[in-house]
Each structure stands twice: as C-alpha cells, then as structure tokens.
Amino acid sequence: MTRMEKKKLISGLLFISPWILGFLIFSVYPVLSSLYYSFCDYSVLSPAVWVGPENYHTLFNDEVFWKSISNTVFFAAFAIPMGMVLSLSLAILLNCKVPFRGAFRTIFFLPSLVPMVCLAVLWQWMLNGDLGLINNAIRPLLNTVNENFGTQLTAPNWLQEAAYAKWGLIFTGLWGVGHAVVIYLAGLQGVPQHLYESAEIDGAGFWVKTRHITLPIISPVIYFNTIMGLIGTFQVFAVPYVMTGGGDGPERSLLFMATYLYQNAFDYWNMGYACAIGIVMFVIILTLTYIATKLSERHVYYEGK
Amino acid sequence: MKHGLKQKISTFSVLVILVLAGICFIAPFAWMISTSLKPLQETMSIPPRWLPSKFQWNNYREAIEAMGYFWRYTANTVYLCFLTVTGTVMSSALAAYGFSRIEWKGRDKVFLVLLATMMIPFPVTMVPVYSLFKNLHWIGSFKPLWVPSFFAGAFNVFLLRQFFLTLPHDISESARIDGCNEFQIFYKIILPLAKPALLCVALFQFMATWNDFMGPLIYLNDQKDFTLALGLQSFQSQQGGTPWHYLMAASTLIVLPVLVLFFFTQKSFIQGIATTGGKG
Amino acid sequence: MPLTRKLKTLLLCSLSVILISCGNSEKENGPVVIRYWEKWNGFEADAMRLIVDDFNASQDEIFVEYSSVSQIDRRLMLAIAGGIPPDVAGLWNHALPVYAENNALTPLNRYTEAAGIGREDYISIYWDMCTHRNYLWALPSTPASTALIYNKKMFREAGLDPERPPRSIAELEAYNAKLMKRDESGRLIACGHIPAEPGWWSPNWVYWFGGDLWDGAETITADSPENIEAYRWVQSYPERFGARDLMSFKDGFGNFASPQNPFFTGRVAMVLQGPWIYNFIKNYAPEDFEWGVAPFPSVNPELFPNVTLVESDILVIPAGAEHPDEAFAFIQFVNSQVEMEKLCLAQRKFSPLAETSAGFFEEHPNPYIGEFIDLAKSPQAKTLPGTTVWSLYANEMRQAFGSVWTQTATTEEVLSEVQIRMQENFDHRARRWKRMEETLLTEWEKP
C-alpha cells in the first residue's frame, strides 16, 4: 500500500466512522443474536434453548411460509415496476415548466403524509365491493362490455376475494409514490441544462431528450429507487397488516413474509422461528439486490467516477 | 409563433394530466379534512359524503382537549425532530462522502455491507436493541429515539452517496490542487452543491420522526413524554368505538405543519437549480 | 495531512453526546409508587381512574400511577423481557396461559390465601380462567358474556313475535328465512342472521353445536364431528344465499362503531354480542331502536341450553415487578364489591363477583344486564381455549371459516388441515413445557 493509498484509506474510514459505530451497535450485534436465536426455541420471555436447525427444517416444510413467499414475490413483481414508471413520469412532468407546480408537487406528496389509520379506512371504502368509488367507476364500463359482448362480468369485491386482494393493495400502494417522486425531482436538478439546449439545436424532441439525456444522468437515482423499492416491497408489512386487522386476508392472499415474521414474533410467541424467517428473508433480499446491482452496472452512469 | 403554440399545447396537456392525477392523489387528504369537520353521526355514512351537513369547527378544539397534553406532545415531537434531523444530516453526509468522493481500498465492498443492513427485518432486531438500551438505562428517556440518528442510517447514506456520485470528479481535483484538504472539499464544495439532496434527507428524517409510532410506543413510559403520533392512539377505545371526527381533526393538525414544511422545501428544490450550477 | 479541527470537534461532539448516560433520579421519601399499565382509553379509562383515585385516597402508603398503553400485550412482553415491567398490568384472559408458561407473571395464590379470597367469591368461570397449570395468575377486572341480541322492530315487521326469540339453530334459520329480503334486482338487502356479522368469534361457533376446540389436555379437536357440523352450518349460508351475494351484502355494511352498523340500520336482525353492545346502541343506534337479549340458540337446546362464550379483562402482576405486595393490595382493592361494582357500572358491564348488590341493578342503565350475568353462571358457559397456541389456532380457524364462506374449500378439508397444523404446533409447545416444567414449578413455589 502506498502512502497515498494509506492516507485515502484513513480519511475514508474517518468519514464513515459514525456509520461504522452505528453498524457495530445497531446491526452486527442484533443480527448475530437473531442468527443465534434462529437455532433456538425462544419466546422472548423464556430462556433460549438450542435446538439446532429445527426451525429451518420446519420452515421449509411450512406451506404457509411458502405461500407468504409467493405472495411477496407477486406483489414485488408488479408493485416495483408500476411504482417506478408512475413516480418517474410524475417527476418528469413536475419538472416541466407548468403553472402551479409547487402546488402539484405538494399534492402528489399528500398521501404520504396522511396517517395510516385514516388511509386504511379510506382504502376500505374505495375498494368496497358494493359502494366503493372504484367499483362505481368501473361498473358502467363492465355493463357496456356485457351488453356488447354478451359477457357476465361483475365488479369484484376487492378485499374479500383472494384473486383481487393483492391488486387492491398494489393500486393503493401507488398512492405512496410521493417519496420516490421527491427523490427523482432532486435528481433531475442535477441534469445540466446545456445538454438539453445542444440537443434541441440538433432537433431532438421530448422523447429523445428523456431517453438519451435525462435517464442516463439520473440513472444513479433510478438505481437507488429500484433498490429501495426492492427492499421496501419485500418487507411490506404495515399496510396489509392494518388493512386486514392483523390477519392474513382472504385465502391468506395478503400474508407476506414480514407479516408472518411479525405474527410469529409477537402474536404466536415463536421468536426463534421468527428469527429463522428473518434470516431467510435477509438472504433472499440480499441475493436479489446483488443481482440487481450486477445487472445495473452496465446501465448506471456515475459522472463522479 | 408556431413554436409558441406548440409549447402552449404541450404545457396544457401536461397540466391536464397533472390535474387528473392530482385529483386521485388529493382524495385521501380531502377526505381526512372533511371528516374532521363532520358531526360523529356522519363520519361513517354509506355512501361516503364529501361535505359535512354542518361544519363543526369545534371538533378541533375538542380533539385537542381530548388528547390531554397536546401542546406537551407537540413540544416533545419538535424536540425529537430537531435532534434527529441534525444528527442524520451531519452523520449521513459525512459517511456518504466517505463512500463516494474518496477512493479507498475495499470501499465498494463495505458499501454493500451498508446496503445489506437495510435488509434486516425490524422485528428481529427489536428485542436485542431494546435490551441494549435497557442496559444503558435509557428506557423511558428520549435517548433511544434520537441517539441512533447520529450514527448515519443506511437509507440516508445511500441516498446522499448516489447524489455525490453524480457531481463531476474534476471539481474535487481542482480544489485539491488549490490546497484544500478532504474536509474542506466536503464542507465548502460538495455540501453546497448537494443542497437539494440534503434537504431531501432532512425532510424525510423530519417526517419519519414526526410520524414514528413504534419507537415512542416501545421506549417511552410517561404519558407526558409522548409524541403526537403516539398521542393519536388515545382516540381508539376498546369497546366504545372510535371518535372518527376527533381522530381526523387531530390528524389534520399533526399533518399540517409537515405539509407547510414540505411546500417550502420543495420551493428550495427550484432554487437549487439556480445555485447548484445546473446550467453547467 | 490530518483532518481539520472542525471535523474532529464534530466527531467528538457526536460521540460524547451518546456517552452521556443518565443517572436514575433518587427516590423521594413518601408513598411507594406503583406503575399500572392498562389497555383502556376514553370512557373505559375514566372509569378505572375513579377506582385508582379511590385507592390513592383510601391510604397514604401506596400511590398508583395509571397509564393507558396501546398495544399492551407487545409492550408488556418487551418490558418484562427488559426486566423493567410495571407493577400491575391489565391484560385479556386469552393472553394469560402464554404469559404464565413463559414465566412472565407472579403467581397470586400466596396473596389470595393470605387475604382470604377464594373461588367461591367469584362467578366460578371467571376465577377458573385466571388459573393455569393449577396456579392463580390474575384476578378479573371487567368481565363479559355473549348472547343473542335482536332487533324487535324487524321481528314485528316480519310477523314474528318480538318476545319469542329463536331457541334452536333450526328456529334461527326459520326466522332467518322470514327476515331475509331481496330487492327487485335480486340483491340481498336484509337478513335475520349471518355468522360473519360481525364475525368476531368465528372459531367459537362450535360451542353452540356441543363441540370444543381441544380436550383440555393434549389433543386438539378441530375436526371433531360437532365442529364439522358447526362449520357445515356456516357452509350452508353461501349455499343458500350465494357466496358472491353474501360478499356484496357484507361489503355494504358500515363500520361497527358507527350509525351504519348493519344491526342498527336494519340489515341484520340478530347478532352475537356482549354487554358492551349497550354502549354502541346508545351512541349510534336510532332513537326508536328496540332490542332484546336472549341466550344464543344452540343446535339442541335440551342438551345445550344457555351456551355462552365468556371473556374477561384481568389484572396481573408481571414477573420481576418492583413492588408485588403493594401491587396486590391494589388488585385486592379493585376486587372489593363496592369498587368492582363502581368500575363495572361506569363501563356498563357486570361484576365478576358472586354477589351483586341490588343497587347495582337499579343504577345500571342496561335493562338486560341480569341476562348477561345469568349466562355467565350457566354450566354451558365456555371460555377461549386455555392453551398457549390459541392466537395461532384462532387465526387458523378464521382462515378455515373464510374458505368455507367463500366456497373455496369444503368443511372437512379445511378442518382436517387445521387439525394437522395445530396438533403439530401444540406438540411443539408441549415439548417446550416439558423442558421447563420442573424449573418453573420450583420457581412458582418459592415465596
């Protein structure tokens, strides 16, 4: 190691030292203890008893756990891309020179501000099968289709039918894109205007500019939001938990990995089992993030590198 | 002339899209405010009614009274927000700089570890962290709620790192040639350029603390120490129903400061364009 | 080469900030302060505060500090694990077995024996639900029993005698047929009874069919013939009314705690509820709402008369509490006849004590409170299963109920699945208990 490298290493470590401390205290220690507990029969209150890999063995044969994995994957597979397209388009529109854009930016952020209790009640109404706003909107459409094609389509009972419950959750989840929009907006401020100007001189339209200037330059931010979306959707917990009143939804269609973990830890007094779920979840998310990072390496463009 | 017309049409169509989408996004908030002004009898009517038959402004006063220590809760929340925002911005900016603007051996591997810390589900760390704070005799005090923010949370470090990475490399180099040391580059050059991102982090941290329910629930014992988000729980009785109109009135009061704050922060994003040299 | 002083100061600041530890404030001379955590908010909390004030005024050695704690079961679990629990906590009876077997509570036998309090002082089922593995872990605070609550006006309009509620499941269904209404397009708009409204005790319908959820020892009985009969009865609803019709019917119901509660708006005529329904009727039902109370009909009223599900709020002393003796003094005070009646009257419930004063009935605003007491005393009164796996079991049974209700599986299929899963879980817990048994029993015997 040269003197220069050493110097850089020391100053680098000094800069990240607050994080290193926090990492040791709030991550390493808790993760090691939950790793240990995942091999124990442990209920938080009674002393942990070593049982070997029993929890993992039970876990891999637990149908309910597999169900929760498939629910989570399904949810993530739709929620991440839909959220990304919506938030990115909104951010680009909000970055245009339109009147009242300050007000618009605030409006799109509003649902992220409303407390969970209020949102949960409102969702239940919007998705209500009998009188919900969504069904009131789609019923005329369905009727037209039925009249013209002789079909028997009826509006679904969103939160009561297993086939639709996750879609209800995905749609309502789109309300929460405000955070991602704000991050994209901040990223868009970094795009140098002169690039647009020279592109315009070459006769480039909106799409060309977006595709060849905006997207590459904010690609680090897109990568950020994708990874956060991945981590967030795989740990989805609060919204379905509140919406179902702490349950699993019809046919366990709203049971996600994090819900099952939480139920085991605090409702069923199986902290050891919950820790095993936590470790498996951790490995799954880590693998996916690694894959996403590898895939994105070619597409993410860092000016500072 | 033709160009101007085209411009107008595109601005108009963008506006139309924004208004339509905006209606969907404003709905939950509008409903919250309308419920906060209804008499209890109308709060849960089916089909939902958007306007109260008579505006009950008294709901707000009564909700504040029902919460007991409303102003005390506000003071506690503001205090915690101040500490956590300060801690987060300071520590994450430092760490993010170390992860982005200095090339040191093993940096990107350590960064993957940082990413990994976000993937730990919170219920499994809850018990060990709780017992840690208990051994420090911090349960029942505000410390468990703000001290961790001085240790650079992964989300914020990641966010700031992504922004620091978009800044051109030459600006650091030329400063270095001018004789600046790393801290001076960080403090005098990078931080001012990253103002929108720092505001973002500060805003998110403020909101996270403002709305945090789990943390105060677990760590605070004395009712006088509660935060606003925790105080909202007092409207949910077990077998007597929920006074929705009070709950929504109190929620509105809690949301409004954040809303105002957001409105002004997003304005700074626009100012950010002028100052961060987006013009290149 | 080194970093500037600024950065050093910054780092030092952030470090020193965390190193400042707090010293616990010294205790003042004066009464022993005991901390009491309770789940109640609103008028229920106000009722308990009256009792706490009475206690604090009655003597000057102990001072009780009341706090309302949300999500008390989780909060208490963490506090006990951390070794800093409150001295008294208000839980639900269904949480008792799991807390007791995890050594999280203080056995009360020594205290009750010294105070001369015994099973005979209580309506026996409430005393029994406070015991687990032959130890007493709690004393009841406010109890409940469940009954058929029906809308007299709807009965009259359907040509039924409002003073003659159904007595058997067969009669209930006959009434149901008369009370059911559809509009011209065929949509359900009213019915007599559906087991999913409000559906709080869907696992427990088996009690009204003579069934039970476990044998009280080592066997889960989810798929016993009686339980299958009960869930077949549930299954008959989608078969008769149509699963989708029932779903949209139920989706049209308002929030339970609102004037749009289907029971108050005349969409459902009969529900299974506890004494608290009085509070909801008073707050949300129309002025001219007429209601009656009777035992919920069972499949065979000769064999199973007066079946009811009883539950209770309970007071416990967490293990590791700082002042258990003083805590018990407070619990004992709450359980005196005068204070208990004051508490239950303010919450509009009934007293769990064997004796109830005449004045209590005179003052009680709920005209049917006597019916609820009689039901609690019935030999057919049942509790939630006193096993540590109950919360998981309840969730499994609710899932099973949902599958039957939406016709995605048959009764036999779902119940045998529940049986297999739950027996496995139960055996797992039994092994945990076997391992701990000796240590725990010795510990509980310690004075």
For residue A190, give the chain B residue with the closest CA.
B278
What does A238-278 look like in DSSP terms, one character per residue? HHHHHHTTTS--GGGTT--HHHHHHIIIIIS--HHHHHHHH
Same domain for C195 and C158: yes
- pLDDT tens-digit profile of A186-228? 888 778 888 888 888 888 888 888 888 888 888 888 998 999 9
- pLDDT tens-digit profile of B22-38? 988 888 788 888 888 98
The yes-or-no verdict on residue A136 having pLDDT over 80 is: no
Integer CA distances (angstroms), C230 to C166, C225, C268, in order = 17, 9, 21
What pLDDT is stored for residue B236 in this prediction? 66
Q: How confident is the model at residue B134 (pLDDT cuts 50, 70, 90)?
A: confident
Across the interface, whether the CB atoms of B28 and A111 are under 8 A apart is answered yes
Under 8 Å between Cβ of A292 and A108: no
Alpha-carbon gap, residue A222 to B21, rounded angstroms: 22
The yes-or-no verdict on residue A105 having pLDDT over 50 is: yes
- What is the percent of chain A where pLDDT is above 90? 36
Residue A209 belongs to a domain with what CATH number?
A: 1.10.3720.10
Across the interface, whether the CB atoms of B104 and A278 are under 8 A apart is answered no
Same domain for C163 and C287: yes
In chain C, which residues have their Cβ closer than 8 Å to the Cβ of A251?
399, 402-403, 406, 408
The yes-or-no verdict on residue B84 having pLDDT over 50 is: yes
C219 occurs within a structural domain: yes
Same domain for C315 and C284: no
Q: Which residues pair with C38 in a beta bridge?
A: C68
Distance from CA of B62 to the nearest CA of A (A): 19
Alpha-carbon gap, residue B58 to B66, rounded angstroms: 12
For residue A269, give the chain C residue with the closest CA.
C98
- pLDDT tens-digit profile of B46-82? 666 778 888 889 889 988 888 888 999 999 999 999 9
**C93 is written with which tokens?**
């009876």
Mean pLDDT of chain B: 84
Distance from CA of C132 to the nearest CA of B (A): 26
A268 occurs within a structural domain: yes
Selected residues 99-118 of chain C with any CB under 8 Å from a CB in chain A: 99, 101-104
Same domain for C207 and C197: yes
Pick the last residue of a domain from C355, C382, C409: C382
Under 8 Å between Cβ of A190 and A218: yes
For residue A34, give the chain B residue with the closest CA.
B124
Same domain for C394 and C373: no
| Number of domains chain A is built from | 1
**Placement of tokens 């101007």 in the chain:** B4
A99 occurs within a structural domain: yes
Query: Model-level pTM?
Result: 0.88
Alpha-carbon gap, residue B32 to B41, rounded angstroms: 15
- pLDDT tens-digit profile of B179-199? 888 899 999 888 988 888 888
What pLDDT is stored for residue B121 in this prediction? 87
A47 occurs within a structural domain: no
Alpha-carbon gap, residue A83 to C5, rounded angstroms: 45
Integer CA distances (angstroms), C149 to C171, C268, C276, in order = 15, 11, 11
Closest CA to C379 of C307, C444, C274, C278: C307
Sign of the alpha-carbon dihedral angle for A193, A198, A204, A205: positive
E strand or H helix at C315: strand C308-316
Pick the last residue of a domain from C323, C356, C382: C382
In chain B, which residues have their Cβ closer than 8 Å to the Cβ of C10?
90, 94
Over residues A262-276, mean pLDDT: 91
Distance from CA of A267 to the nearest CA of C (A): 7
C55 occurs within a structural domain: yes
In chain B, which residues have their Cβ closer than 8 Å to the Cβ of A110?
25-26, 28-29, 259
Across the interface, whether the CB atoms of A19 and B91 are under 8 A apart is answered yes
In chain A, which residues have their Cβ closer than 8 Å to the Cβ of C78?
44
Alpha-carbon gap, residue B4 to A287, rounded angstroms: 51
Across the interface, whether the CB atoms of B91 and C14 are under 8 A apart is answered yes
Same domain for C329 and C208: no
Cβ neighbours of residue C108 closer than 8 Å, sequence gap 6 or more: C135, C136, C137, C138, C139, C317, C328, C331
Burial environment of residue A58 by CB neighbours within 10 A (0 to 12, 13 to 18, 19 or more): middle
- pLDDT tens-digit profile of B34-54? 888 988 777 766 666 778 888
Nearest CB partner across the interface for B184, out of C4, C252, C257 = C4
Same domain for C103 and C49: yes
Same domain for C302 and C223: yes
Across the interface, whether the CB atoms of A160 and C247 are under 8 A apart is answered yes
Same domain for C352 and C303: no
Distance from CA of A144 to the nearest CA of B (A): 23
For chain B, what are the domain ranges?
70-275
Domain that holds residue C116: 32-144+311-382
The yes-or-no verdict on residue A99 having pLDDT over 60 is: yes
Integer CA distances (angstroms), B220 to B114, B143, B145, B214, C105, in order = 29, 10, 9, 10, 22
C176 occurs within a structural domain: yes
In chain C, which residues have their Cβ closer than 8 Å to the Cβ of B87?
14
Same domain for C322 and C197: no
Neighbours of chain C (3+ CB pairs under 8 A): A, B
What pLDDT is stored for residue A304 in this prediction? 55
Across chain C, which has 447 residues, the per-10-residue mean pLDDT values are 45 45 49 93 89 95 91 88 91 94 94 95 96 96 95 95 95 95 88 90 95 92 95 95 86 79 93 93 91 96 95 95 95 96 95 94 94 96 94 93 91 95 93 90 86
Neighbour count for residue C226 (Cβ, 10 Å):
16
**C167 is written with which tokens?**
């007595």
- Read off φ and ψ for residue A125, nearest 5 degrees: -75, -45
The yes/no answer on whether domain B70-275 falls in CATH 2.60.120.260 is no
Least confident segment among A37-51, A142-156, A169-183, C433-447? A142-156
A160 and chain C in contact, CB less than 8 A: yes
Residue B232 Cα to chain centre, angstroms:
18
| Number of domains chain C is built from | 2
Domain that holds residue A266: 72-116+164-296
**Placement of tokens 């003052």 in the chain:** C363
What pLDDT is stored for residue C394 in this prediction? 94
Across the interface, whether the CB atoms of A248 and C103 are under 8 A apart is answered no
Same domain for C337 and C426: no
A15 occurs within a structural domain: no
Over residues B224-239, mean pLDDT: 78
Residue C119 belongs to a domain with what CATH number?
A: 3.40.190.10
Same domain for C172 and C77: no
ipTM: 0.84
